[in-house]
Every structure is written in structure tokens, then in C-alpha cells.
Amino acid sequence: DGGITQSPKYLFRKEGQNVTLSCEQNLNHDAMYWYRQDPGQGLRLIYYSQIVNDFQKGDIAEGYSVSREKKESFPLTVTSAQKNPTAFYLCASSIPSGMGGELFFGEGSRLTVL
């Protein structure tokens, strides 16, 4: 069954703790993305990666880190430096096409900081 799998779906964290959200895809897509979705603010880009071992900051990268060691995987770490981490996080992938191919999204991970 092809697609993008995010885990966990729900995650609770205490303040001061780092947490890592998993994103795996078996679509053989080169590009992967992390977005944050907040009510009334739409989707904001955190990080994206067009190829293995390379990634770029998006619009709200502060307090987050990523790695892209494998084509299939693009984990996102929410660090204790992120001031307002409670949010819904969406991972996506696409075939790079120069000006934006179709993005395929995961089901999302909801992080709540207690």
C-alpha cells in the first residue's frame, strides 16, 4: 500500500523535552516536506528536502531540526527551543518538477506540550 506514513498520530510532551516525529514514504519521491498547521494560519513550511543528505529551512525553521539520511525517511525533531510547539504537523512528498509537483500528504501528527 503506497503512501506516506506519519507516526505517532498523537504525542504528548513535557516542556523542555525534545521529540521526534517520523515520516516514511514508499512512493520513491525525491522531495519531502514538513508543514505545521495551526487554526487560522494555514500550512507553514518548516523544512524541506529535495534530495538525500540535503535539506533547506522553510519559513518557520527555528526550534526544529531534520535529517535526510535515506530517501524514504524525513524525521522532524521538535526541540525544547521551539517556543510554541503544540500543533498539528504534516509531512508530504513529491516528485520534483522544477516548479512544484503534486504534494502527497500524510495523515499528520498532533503534538501537545503539557
Rank residues 1 and 102 by Cβ distance to another protein and give the closer one. 102
Minimum distance from residue 94 beta carbon to another protein (Å): 7
Rank residues 13 and 105 by Cβ distance to another protein and give the closer one. 105
Minimum distance from residue 42 beta carbon to another protein (Å): 4
Contact set with another protein (CB under 8 A): 31, 33, 35, 40-45, 48, 50, 56, 58-59, 90, 92, 94, 96-107
Cell numbers 523544512 correspond to what residue? 47
